[in-house]
Each structure stands twice: as C-alpha cells, then as structure tokens.
Amino acid sequence: MKKAQPTDLKPGKGKRSRATGRITLSDVAKAASVSPITASRALRSAESVSPELAQRVNAAANTLGYVPDPAARALASARSTSIVVLVPMLTNALFVEVLEAIHEVVTSTGYQTLIAVTHYDSQQEETLIKSYLAHRPAGFIVSGFDRTEVARRLISSSGLPCVHIMEVASAPGLHSVGFSQTEGGATMTRHLIAQGRKRIVFAAAQLDPRTMQRAEGYRRAMKSAGLYDPKLEVLNPQRSSIALGAELLEQSLRYNPDVDAIFFNNDDLAQGGVLHAQRLGIKVPEQIAIGGFNDLTGSDQMNPPISTIRTPLRQMGTQAAQMLLQLLEGQPVQKPNIDLSFELIVRKSS
Amino acid sequence: MKKAQPTDLKPGKGKRSRATGRITLSDVAKAASVSPITASRALRSAESVSPELAQRVNAAANTLGYVPDPAARALASARSTSIVVLVPMLTNALFVEVLEAIHEVVTSTGYQTLIAVTHYDSQQEETLIKSYLAHRPAGFIVSGFDRTEVARRLISSSGLPCVHIMEVASAPGLHSVGFSQTEGGATMTRHLIAQGRKRIVFAAAQLDPRTMQRAEGYRRAMKSAGLYDPKLEVLNPQRSSIALGAELLEQSLRYNPDVDAIFFNNDDLAQGGVLHAQRLGIKVPEQIAIGGFNDLTGSDQMNPPISTIRTPLRQMGTQAAQMLLQLLEGQPVQKPNIDLSFELIVRKSS
DNA sequence: CTGAAAGCGCTTACAG
DNA sequence: CTGAAAGCGCTTACAG
C-alpha cells in the first residue's frame, strides 16, 4: 500500500524543552515529504495544490491521526473557527430551538458555537460583543436588528460576516433570515376577527422589540377593522412563562370584562391562559377565544389545543448558519435576506 | 493623575508586514515600563509580582484597553479558557436549566462554555470528546458516569479536571455534583404507596441510565411494599415530551386497566398525562394519581398541579461549575462529591 | 521578585 | 503549483 514511514517521526526525539507530544503539521509534512506550507494548504482545501500531493498529505494526516490545533491556527490567521451566537435568553424555548438548529450545522462543519446570552439588555450585548471579539470569532449570528450604535459598529468594523435572525430586512450588505413579526401579529389578529371576535386583547410579556412588532401588527389589524381600543393591550414587562399567562388572563378580564378573545404574544403565555381559564370555569373558545404565537411544544396538547402562528424556528437557525458558512467560505450568497414566513395554525381554541 | 504615555506606543510604527493593530501585551509592558513576562504575570494574578508593579501594569492595561488574546494564550500555555460541557440533549428543558446555570458562572469568570450534545449516544460522545480535546479545553463537565471505556480514558489521560453532574458517587479522585436518581424514584413511589395506591405504573421515556436508576428506585419501593409487578413498567425508548406523556397514559391503561397511579419519569410526560386524562374524562387524582419528576416549568400550572420530585437543576450547574473553577485555579476542593438531594413536592395530582 | 530567550503550531505574504 | 522565512501574541522554563 505505502512505504514504511520514516522512523524518526516518533516524538521525543531531540531535546526540545517543551515537547508536547502532539502530532503537528510538520509531522504530517515530513511523512508526506512536502513542506509544512503545502501540507497546510492541502489540509485546508487543496487551494492550489496538485491533486497528487493533496492526497499524499491527507493520507499522512489520517494515518498519523493529525488534528489541527485551533489555537495555533487562530493565532496565525487571526481568525478562529468559533461562531458567536447572540441570543436574548435561554429560558425561552424559542431560542433553544433556534440554537439547536444552528449548533447542528455549525459543529458538523468543524466550527464551534459560542453562545452569548444578552438577557434582552443592549448594554450587556455591547459588552459581550466586545469581549467575544477578542476571541477572533469567524462570524456572528445575532437576534434581530435592535442594538446600540456602538454594538453595530463593533460588528461592522470587525469586518466579520454577520447574519441576523428572527427578523428580515433588505438593506444592501445586510444578511438576515427571519420573518415578519408584524405580519404574524396581524395574521393572528385577523383570524380572531374573522371568527367574529370584537374585544380582542393583546396580552404580551417581556416587551422586547419583536413583541412590540407583533403588537404593531395587532394594532393595524384592529384599526382597519374599526375595533382598536388601547385598553385592550395588556402589556407586562416580566419574562414570558406559563405562570405569567395565567396572570395575564386575569388582568385581561379585570380591565376588559367584555373580552371575547385573547391573543397571547407567545405560546407559553397562551398555555397558561388556557389552563387558567379552565380553573376559572371559562369556556375556551365559547366565552373567550385564545390565540398564541410560535407553536411551542405542548400547545397542541392543551385542552383545547391552541391556535397559533407557527414560526420557522429550526429552519431559521439552519439557514442562518448555512448562510454564514457560505460567507465564511467566500461563496456567493444568492439571497442575502430570506423571509421564511410563518403559518397560521387553527386549532380548537379559536 | 499620571504621566503622559510615551507616544511611540501608537500602532503602525515600524513596517511589520502583518501588523494587526491589536494592542498586545508588549504594548502594556512598555507603557508600564516592565518586561512582557512581568506584565503577563501581573495580569494573570499577581503571582509573585510586587504589588507596585502589578498595579502599574493593570493601570496600563486599563488605559490601553488591553484584551488578552485567547488563541495566543492557549498556544503558549497549551490550555485554553474553554470548558467543554457534555449534555445528552437540548430539547429536554432539564439540561437547558443546568446549562444556563453553568454558563452563568463560567462566563462570569472569563471562561467560555463549549456545549457538546451527545444525543444519548456513547459513540458520538466519544467522538465529541476526541475532537474537543484538540481545542485544549481547560476542563470538562459531563453528564453522569455512563460512558465508553475509551471516552473515560480520553478524559482521564488528558489530565484535565472533570466534574460529573446529574449523579453522585464517591470514588477517590472523582468529582461529582448531583443526587441519587434511585432514591428520587423510590421517594415518589413511596409517596404514591402512602396515598393508598397499589397498582402504580412506572411510565418512562428515553430509557437512559438515569431513567433506569429511577426505575430501580421504583422497583425497590414496590417490592418492599409487596406491590411489584413487572407489567406495571411502561417503558418507551422515544424521547421525552408532553405528547408522549399522553401516549404513555393510554398504554398504561391498556396494559393495566386497574392502574390507580402513574409515576411519570419526567415532568413533561406527567403534564401530557394529566392533559390526556382530562381528555379521557379520567379524574386525577380520584381515579388515577399522577406523579412526575424534576419539577419542570408548568407542572404547578396544570389542572390539577402535579406532585413531583424537585431536583436541584440550577444548583447542580452552579456548584459543578464552581468546583471545576476551583480545580482550575488549583484550589483545594473540600468536598469533591456533593449530594444535593431532592425534594418531594406534593400537589393536587396525588 | 524580575527578565532575555525560546517556543507553542500554525499561516501569511513573498518569491520562485 | 511549491517552499524558506517570518511572525501571530502569548507563556514556559531557566537564570539571576
């Protein structure tokens, strides 16, 4: 098959003071009888290396069990293989799904994800970007467009590719994969209106930019149906949860005794709402119709199952990661801003 | 306040071919009029550096806005600042909670978490360990003790500190933070028995090692009460979910028409069970008592709220991370194996 | 307690 | 298409 390896490859030869025993690129190069530079090129992607040499190098690397050192690579090239993903929160099932999808494609291509949790705090986000920049990441995936001017500049002046998720835009030079939160909000509202509901409460938590975009969609739909009433907006800055959904239902009833539908801005809230309605003996949808958002786990299992807007969470993660990877490989991105849209799922709660 | 900085600090001086413009340790050293080595030591933790110099160096670093290069540091020291966390799955809320806690303490001390998802697959875990080892991580946090001999050896021969979570043991040299899954399983079973239940089903998904430990606890408790019957074990290898809980309830009824209690091995299953019982018109707990495990979000919001075993998820993450950090700093760990225990939460479902 | 020298393992220009 | 030289930014021994 192949000639015996030169025996002087074994580590420990010579008396280097800090021998690590690691198999290095030079070991591979020697085994393949080429220079380290050629080996480096062959291993990275045969970028102008003769096929024959490339093959010899790869074979040598395999038999030696060579694994490149990310630190050395990062230092020499001023670029690591880690991708920073900025998400607002891990406790929201929403982001876990997106992250999981990103993580899968990123790791399967030899990159790593560095997760940075902003806690919906712009200042914290700024600090995180700054500190992660020191790691010379390969690129960024960030949630939404809402950030400080400084944060924006930190990213752009780094020259690193950056893909936005959760929302879409179409400015030149921008990369994004998402859907229209506003349209999503409007769609659910219109659905409830179409069911003959008139006193439709918009119940929301967190009040982050995307929530407020859905609120905007709600407002438009209500206004154009002549049903808008500011009293119908039940907004709570606490973080979204099933328990808070119950509370929001109570508040909705208190402020609007005539409420006949509630559009919860996230499915965990809607689930809490349905469960609490049951406790209060309120019939869903007969007395109050309920709509949710994101089609999170469990919504289809509630009694009644919850109508919702199914958002392309996993897809968004996958495509954003793929787009970033293309950018990293210098490949052309045919569609830099992808609107994945969403789907209205009508179940028994409305 | 302080003397003007020497003006020759500005980057771009000289004609280095690959000037990065980055502020380096030498810049700091020059500004503080010390050697780079001293600056390095002062910055890392004043390890034998005179207080005066240490302060001068730190001041210089601050005014220059110096941020150490992790890649260079990793290369020179053969150790990075990233901590590999091996978890089975991200879709289980369980691990997200633990991860979040780990992530918080790890990042707040200047380390990073590298999340590796094993998908409950030992082979995949082995591969992941191998590839992450190339990143020269600072240490490991791994879930449970169940892994291949190769995986075990990869970790131990790396010489890197490793803390186990989810379970506890007490072998010498071992580090773990967890609780007894077996005892947890037994405790919930005993509780149901104490309520006068006799035909208690153990309904489980995934069937991973920890699930089977809970099963073991269940068996012991049932046997010592003279109630054990293998037919009462409803085991399903699919992954845990609310939807699967509904299915397991059906199966439990089918195989055991006389069932009077179901101990679901994870709260998402229990939630699905409660919801489905309602659909079937089965009264909980009158006809069937239901118990869960882990006290996940939402269990207290169900109708009826679910009795469960509250496990110290966040605490486990926090303490494991802290222990690993102590190990990394060479500090003594007073208690290398911590049993955090668990708590029986009795609610209306039992 | 402090420093001059060497090296970690790779890649970037620059030549041929 | 291939290689010799230099360098990325830090830290490790080794001296003083």
d(CA A290, CA A266): 11
Cβ B143 to strand D below 7 Å: no
Query: What is the spatial distance, in angstroms and rounded to an integer, between the CA atom of B159 and the C1' atom of C5?
Result: 29
pLDDT at residue A19, as a whole number: 57
A80 touches chain B (CB under 8 A): yes
The secondary structure element, H or E, covering residue A260 is none
Residues B105 and B337: their CA atoms lie apart, in Å, by: 19
H helices of A225-340, in order, are 242-255, 267-280, 313-328
Q: How many CB pairs under 8 A join A and B?
A: 103
Q: Which residues have C-beta within 8 Å of that of residue B292, sequence separation ≥ 6?
A: B264, B266, B267, B269, B270, B271, B299, B306, B307, B308, B309, B349
Q: How far apart are CA B300 and CA B107, in angstroms?
A: 31
- Please tell me the distance in Å from A40's CA to the nearest CA on chain B: 17
**CA angle at A209 for the pair A92 and A133, rounded to the nearest 5°:** 75
d(CA A283, CA A260): 11
CB distance B58 to B43 below 8 Å: yes
Of A198, A215, A196, A199, the residue nearest A207 (C-alpha): A215
What letters, b where the CB count within 10 A reaches 16 and e where it falls short, cover A274-300? bbbbbeeebebbeebbbbbbbbbbbbb
Give, in Å, how far the C1' of C5 lies from the CA of B41. Answer: 17
What's the token pair of residue A130? 């700054």
The pLDDT value recorded for residue A47 is 65
The pLDDT value recorded for residue B17 is 44
Residues of chain A with pLDDT under 70: 1-20, 46-47
C1' of C15 to CA of B10 (Å): 31
Which of chain A's residues have a Cβ under 8 Å away from the Cβ of B70?
A: 71, 74, 134-135
Contact positions of strand D to protein Cβ (< 7 A): 1-14
B341: closest CA of chain A, how far (Å): 24
Contact call for residues B134 and B78 (beta carbons, < 8 A): no
Is residue A241 within 8 A of residue A248, CB to CB? The reply is no
Tell me the CA end-to-end span of chain B in Å, nearest whole number: 69
Task: For residue A45, say whether its CB is under 7 Å from any atom of strand D.
Answer: no
Contact B273, B285 (CB under 8 A): no
Min Cα distance B228 → chain A (Å) is 32
**If you write DSSP's letter for every residue of A42-80 in order, what string do you get?**
HHHH-TT--HHHHHHHHHHHHHHT----HHHHHHHHT--
Location of structure tokens 């480096």: A40
* A276 inside 8 A of chain B by CB: yes
**Exposed/middle/buried for residue B32 (C-beta within 10 Å: 0-12, 13-18, 19+):** buried
Question: Is the CB of B49 within 7 Å of strand C?
Answer: yes
Smallest CA-to-CA distance from B35 within B59, B53, B12 is with B53
Q: What distance in Å separates the CA atoms of residue B335 and residue A113, rounded to the nearest whole number? A: 32
Flag if A134 and B91 touch (Cβ within 8 Å).
Answer: no
| Contact status, residue A340 vs residue A181, Cβ threshold 8 Å | no
Question: What's at A185, amino acid-wise?
Answer: G
- CA A338 from centroid of its chain's CA atoms: 14
Chain A residues inside the 8 Å CB shell of B71: 70-72, 74-75, 80, 135-136
Do strands A139-143 and A82-87 pair parallel, antiparallel, or not at all (unpaired)?
Answer: parallel
Smallest CA–C1' distance to D1, residue: A49
pLDDT tens series, chain B, 350 aa: 333 333 333 333 333 345 567 888 888 888 888 888 888 888 887 567 788 888 888 888 888 888 888 889 888 888 888 999 999 999 889 999 999 999 999 998 889 999 999 999 999 999 999 888 888 899 999 999 999 999 999 999 888 999 999 999 989 989 999 999 999 999 999 999 999 999 999 999 999 999 999 999 999 999 999 999 999 999 999 999 999 999 999 999 999 999 999 999 999 999 999 999 999 999 999 999 999 999 999 999 999 999 999 999 999 999 999 999 999 888 889 999 999 999 999 999 99
Which residues of chain B make contact with A135, given a CB cutoff of 8 A? 70-71, 112
Supply the pLDDT for residue B189: 98
**Chain B positions in Cβ-Cβ contact with residue A74 (cut-off 8 Å):** 70-71
Tokens (6 digits) for B38: 């001293």
* DSSP type of residue A307: B
Q: What per-residue confidence (pLDDT) applies to A46?
A: 59
In A, minimum Cα distance to B242 occurs at A298
Residues facing A343 on adjacent strands: A310
| Model pLDDT, residue A15 | 36
What is the amino acid identity at position A279? R
Q: What is d(CA B174, CA B153) in angstroms, rounded to the nearest whole number?
A: 13
The three-point CA angle B341-B346-B350 to 5° equals 130
Q: Tell me whether the omega of the peptide bond preceding residue A172 falls within 30 degrees of 0, making it cis.
A: no
Partner A contacted by B91 (CB < 8 A): yes
Q: How far apart are CA A313 and CA A311, in angstroms?
A: 6
Residue B165 (CA) to nucleotide D12 (C1'), in angstroms, measures 34
Is strand C in 7 Å reach of the CB of A50? no
How many CA atoms lie less than 13 Å away from A35 in the CB half-sphere? 4
Q: Please name the member of A100, A297, A301 whose beta carbon is closest to the beta carbon of B246.
A: A301
Query: Is strand D in 7 Å reach of the CB of B194?
Result: no
